[in-house]
A = this chain, B = another copy of it.
Amino acid sequence: MLRPNDFAPLPEALWQDLRTASTATLSSALARRGLRAVCMFGPKPLRTGMRCAGEAYTLRMLPTREDLGEPSFLANPDYPQRHAIEAIGPGQVLVVDARGDLRAGILGDIFTLRIARRGAVGLVTDGAVRDATGVAETGIAVFAAGAHPLQHTAIHIAADEQLPIQCGGVLVMPGDIIAGDDDGVVVIPRAIAAAVAADAAEQERLEGFVLRAIDGGSSIIGVYPPSDATRAAYEASKQV
């Protein structure tokens, strides 16, 4: 029933814009379009300063049940957790719905390194990772709600891939744009991603201008939110 994204290619400018836009600014740009249910609750960067931007590749975990067995499916390359690792591609972010359950890690260092080698740019989950020290060293941006030593099969079973999921309380459709930084993770619907990112990047430039004014001793009155005069001064500053 949920209409899937068409996977029409995204403009290169989108990625350019996302490099300068913070999740705070992106969420404001989304809010101006009426979208507020887009900020995940739970996932935080594994190390301060991690940032990512990419296309969502979704994986859904369910609670496991003792009658479902275990050893057989772990060796099966079609097991969704395994399959997703080898299916994800460059510029994508693996988004794992773990229902906010932190009692096991959904991935460890080996699988995270593999998706990094396949070109993935991020891992986002409202569950936990394991081998957190190693995971943090794979060179990929990781946003998780915790760390836990136990392997995922103690708590979870991977159910399917590339369906719409929830993660951190937010709907994520395959192909949506995922952006993360120290404030957390924001989901940008694919259809409006380029416009939102462009708005946000421009807003960042304006806020940089404002920040320099405040840094120089300016009051916020008329400066932020910017009055017409401030906006004009900002526009003028761009001419230089």
Find chain B residues with CB under 8 A from A109 CB.
211
Q: Which of A133-190 contact B (CB under 8 A)?
A: 133-134, 147-151, 154, 157-160, 163-166, 169-171, 181-184, 186-187, 189
Find chain B residues with CB under 8 A from A37 CB.
63-66
Interchain CB contact (< 8 A) of A35 among B62, B67, B225:
B67
- A229 contacts B by Cβ under 8 Å: no
**Total interface residues on A, using CB and 8 Å?**
93
Q: How many copies does the complex hold?
A: 6
Q: Flag the segment in A6-14, A70-78, A232-240 that touches B.
A: A70-78
Find chain B residues with CB under 8 A from A111 CB.
220, 224
Which residues on A are within 8 Å of B, measured CB to CB? Answer: 1-2, 22-24, 26-28, 31, 33-39, 41, 44, 47-49, 62-68, 73-80, 82, 85-86, 99, 101-103, 105, 108-111, 113-114, 117, 130-134, 147-151, 154, 157-160, 163-166, 169-171, 181-184, 186-187, 189, 191-192, 207, 210-211, 214-215, 217, 219-221, 224-225
Closest 10 CB pairs of A and B: A23-B149, A149-B183, A27-B149, A24-B130, A132-B182, A24-B149, A65-B171, A35-B66, A133-B182, A147-B183
